[in-house]
Each structure stands twice: as C-alpha cells, then as structure tokens.
Amino acid sequence: MNIKKICCIGAGYVGGPTMAVIAQKCPSIQVTVVDLNEARIAAWNDTDLNKLPIYEPGLAEIVGEVRNRNLFFSTEVEKAIEEADMIFISVNTPTKTYGLGKGMAADLKYIELCARTIARVAKTDKIVIEKSTLPVRTAAAIKSILDHTGNGVQFQILSNPEFLAEGTAVKDLLAPDRVLIGGDDSIEGQIAIAELAFIYSNWVPQERILTTNVWSSELSKLTANAFLAQRVSSINAMSELCEKTGADVNEVASAIGMDSRIGHKFLKASVGFGGSCFQKDIMNLVYIAQSYGLQEVADYWEQVIIMNDHQKRRFGRNIVKTLYNTVADKKIAFLGWAFKKDTNDTRESAAIYVAADLLCEQANIAVFDPKVTEMQMKSDLDLVLAGCDETCSRDVSMQEDAYNTCKDAHAIAVLTEWDEFKTYDWQRIYDNMMKPAFIFDGRNVLDRKELETIGFIYKGIGS
C-alpha cells in the first residue's frame, strides 16, 4: 500500500498538532482532520491563526504553512474515512463517570463509535491507528468490531501512542525522544508497521522509531505517564517534610537531581500535577491492576493520586492559615489558570481545585491567565462547585492584566509558571496590594525579603 491520504478522527490536543506536523513533513500526503464539533473545526479553519482552538508555541506557523495545501479540517467524517488509506483515531478517552469502573476505568464509548463508523463506511482496506491513550488490549476490541463488518475489507490495527507534553507539543513532534509503533507479528501487520514507520522516517531518525507488539505499545503510554506523575508526587511529599524540618526542597531536588540515576526533570515541588493525562492514566492503570486481582499494585499507584490531591488541598489550607485563618471577603489574586505554561489547556489544573476550596471559605478570587478565557474558567469551576452548598462564594472573575488582578489583593497565588510573569514590575504589584500582603508559589508563602529577589517565587511552581 502506498499511503496517499490520511484521515484523523479527532481535532483536539493530539490530533490537530500531530497531523499538522505530518502534513508539513510529508507534502505528498493529503491529511484530513475530522470532528463532529463544528465550532472546533471552524476555529481550525479561521483565517486568524491566533484563534486556533489550541495554543501551542509554533503551531500556528505550521498550520498557516500547510492548511489548504495538504492539511484540511472538516466535519465530513464519513467522506474522509472512505477516501483514506490510513486512519488515526484520536478522540477523547475520559474516565468513566458511571457504571462499572466509575472514577477509574477509561470510557471507550468514543473509540467504539469510531470503530463502528469505520466498519460501516470503509469499502477498501485500511490501516487503523490508535493514537488516543487507551487501556491495554483495546486494539483487540477495535479489531473485533472491524473484522465483523461482513464486507470483505481488511483492517490492520496499530498502536502509536503520543508522548507529547503540552506547551512543547510542536517541539516534541519535530524532535521526539522516540516514536512507538505496535502491531501484529503477521506479515500483514509488519507491512502496516513499515508503512507508518516510513511516514515518520521523513523527519525522525530510524533509531528513534521503535516497534513492538500492540499490547506493549498500549501499556508503555500508561507506564510513562505513571512514572512521570510518580516523580511529581514524590518531590511534593518531600516538600512537606522539608517545611517541617527546615530543609529547602529546592536544594534537596538539586542535590538528588545531579544523581545520573535520577536526573533533574519533574523534580519541582509544586501545587500538584494537572492536565488531561496523568490522573486519568494512573486511575486507568489502577483499574487494570484491580481487574487482574493485583490489589497491591493498584494501591501503590493510587497513592500517587492521593498525594497529588493532598498537595492541592494543603496549598489552599496554607493560604487560609497564613491569612489569619480566614479569607472571607478577602481578595485572592490567581496568576495562572492553565495547568502549565504555554498551553490553554485547563483540564485537572490545580488552580481549579484551589479556587474551589477558597470559594468555599467565602473568598473573592480574581484570575489572570494570558491564554485562558473567562468562559473556560467558569466552566471549569461550575463542574467542581456543582455539589457545593449555597454558602460557597461564586465571586470569581477573569481580569485582562496582572496588575488589575493583583490590585488591592490580600494575597497572590502564582499557579502557572508563565514566563511573562518574571518580567512584571513586582515592586509595583506589591505596593498596590492590601497590607500585610502575601505571595504564594507552588510551595509556600513568600515574605517581604524574598519579594525583593523576586526570582525566588519561580523555584517552586508546577512541573
């Protein structure tokens, strides 16, 4: 098979950037990204590249270069499936909120819907690729659906998990640590693997393209996220011990990070990890372990989540305690709402949960984030506050700049490590706050002396 047309089902954080880079590096291949969300597709097609639905450094430039050349965004899902030689499935796999596995298992209803649509529409042989993060052995379920179409079409199922970090997604796509492709050991499976590997070989060195069986590929993604999240929770656990003993968690992290067996990445003590992957994938791993009767394995990984949730609650409690055990009717300024810098993604952001805790303490919250909209912020809070009683405050607003956000604030919580925060006139910000004024980073409260060397507040912000 000579791949001429690619279809990607799902125009989100993975599908959009991944297909943009493939289109740029493979100009002879027509790449079509499809989604049933008309507003999202319209945003991808907007002539104003600043209005793309996803913010990633460098993404707008690539989309502007290849869109309407060999990269297309469309709501015509069935047409794109029918015409494609290769189909990427890149739809959402949220944690189940109902039934068996509620709160832990991945909800695969969108994956199944994609498989059934492909089975119904396809009239020629296809290579179908799992791009979403999926539980191990999901490929077997997809293959079962596709193989029972009764129309004679042959499908090969590959696993090609993404290893993107939001905020550096384009960089990660252009120069990946590795590209992982899992497929069958059959001749047909190996041919399909070779077809996908050839596409990546247009810009990825051959030694960085790894091939495995499908199950190893699927589980590698969950394992990678679990290991990274584990490091964040580990250093956060040590940060609490450091506070009690007088040790400096940054000095501890620096010391252990110089050990070549450990390394320095993901060792910033913070208010906790967020994003769409870590918590969801770890809970999925816990559920899988439980389903195989491996309770000790499940308990081990669940502790990573327990520590992360504790760190978020502890941060909010620290603010209340510092402000004389009450924040009622006090203005708390939040700098940052996205779960990390250089992205507009707010899923599982620590800011949401800290804000909810403070609102339940009757605080007034003002927020500034350079990329997150007020509509998104309020949507995030509505979900978290849905079960709260009427005593919780709803006094929260998104401001247009940091200076207005911080004016007359009793405290500032720096919750996202945006680089532009480092360029602010912090003396001006401090002078316009209510006194005594407090500034919190991802670890603790900063006193007036520390404010004079303001770079200190960036040592502890999110990983």
Q: Quick one: CA dihedral 437, 442, 443, 449, positive or negative?
A: negative
E strand or H helix at 8? strand 5-9
* Residue tagged active-site, from 26, 114, 277, 406: 277
d(CA 57, CA 17): 11
Residue type, 108: L
Q: Which residues of 422-444 are buried (b: 16+ CB within 10 A; e: fewer)?
A: eeeebeebbeebeeebbbbbbbb
Residue type, 134: L
E strand or H helix at 115? helix 109-121
Q: Is 34 helix (H, G, I), strand (E, B) or coil?
A: strand
CA distances from 336 to 24, 58, 90, 185, 434 (A): 32, 21, 28, 47, 20
Nearest Cα to 362, choosing from 328, 409, 320?
Answer: 328
What token pair was written down for 254? 């620096």
Q: Using H for helix, E for strand and C for coil, what is the string for 361-424?
A: CCCEEEEECCCCCHHHHHHHHHHHHCCCCCCCCCCEEECCCHHHHHCCCCEEEECCCCHHHHHC
Task: Respond yes or no: is residue 277 known to be catalytic.
Answer: yes
How much of the chain is in helix, strand and coil states, percent to nearest 5?
Answer: 45, 15, 40
The phi, psi pair for 72, rounded to 5°, reads -135, 145
Asked if residue 436 has a cis previous peptide bond (ω within 30° of 0), the answer is: yes
Residues belonging to the active site: 277
